[in-house]
């Protein structure tokens, strides 16, 4: 698989976590991508909407997020190859926003009750800080620690 795939996978995972699992308007490709994961927890995707399955829903969400985090080394490699500052910023900012959102969603039942977003101030800080590889690595490390991935 190529680096662009890994970067886009992180974005797709962000959307899975961001829109919650049982979603009538969910992108079919996202559902198909994660069927191997969610089918471990319920028989039908719609079963996550049942209140008695909230623990399974959170476990599945955590697995999807953990799967996305496995692609971080490839994201770092890809970003480290970018030499143009504008292009670096264009690529790095969505990645740090995605990992921050994934961290906010991790183990969070609120994902299934509404949209979980990072705070505006946090988003601005990420945009301002994600301007070079050491800063991006530090941001990624911080959020990976938050979810216990490190």
pLDDT (tens digit per residue) in 14-38: 555 555 554 444 444 455 557 888 8
What distance in Å separates the CA atoms of residue 150 and residue 138, rounded to the nearest whole number?
A: 13
Q: What is the dihedral of CA 12, 20, 67, 132, to 10 degrees?
A: 50
Domain ranges of the chain: 3-146
pLDDT (tens digit per residue) in 101-111: 999 999 999 98
- What does the chain look like in DSSP terms, one character per residue? --HHHHHHHHHHHHHHHHH-SS-TT--HHHHHHHHHHHTTT-SSGGGGGSGGGHHHHHHHHHHHHHHHHTTHHHHHHHHHT---HHHHHHHHHHHHHHHHHHHHHTT-GGGGTS-----HHHHHHHHHH-SSHHHHHHHHHHHHHHTT--
- 54 near 109, Cβ under 8 Å? yes
pTM of the full predicted structure?
A: 0.80
Provide the token pair at 126. Answer: 């990420």
**CATH of the domain spanning 3-146, picked from 1.10.600.10, 1.20.1740.10, 2.40.50.140, 2.60.40.1180:** 1.10.600.10
What's the whole-number mean pLDDT along residues 93-99? 93
- Comparing 22 with 85, the larger pLDDT belongs to 85
What distance in Å separates the CA atoms of residue 137 and residue 29, rounded to the nearest whole number?
A: 29
């Amino acid at each position: 698989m190529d680096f662009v795939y890994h970067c886009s996978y992180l974005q797709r995972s962000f959307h899975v976590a961001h829109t919650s699992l049982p979603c009538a308007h969910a992108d079919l490709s996202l559902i198909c991508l994660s069927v191997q994961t969610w089918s471990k927890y319920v028989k039908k995707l719609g079963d996550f909407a049942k209140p008695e399955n909230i623990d399974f829903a959170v476990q599945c969400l955590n697995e999807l997020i953990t799967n996305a985090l496995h692609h971080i080394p490839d994201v770092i490699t890809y970003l480290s190859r970018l030499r143009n500052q504008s292009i670096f910023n264009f690529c790095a900012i969505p990645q740090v926003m995605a990992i921050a959102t994934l961290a906010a969603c991790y183990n969070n039942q609120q994902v299934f009750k509404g949209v979980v977003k990072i705070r505006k101030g946090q988003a601005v800080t990420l945009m301002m800080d994600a301007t070079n590889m050491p800063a991006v690595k530090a941001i990624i490390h911080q959020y990976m620690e938050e979810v216990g991935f490190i």
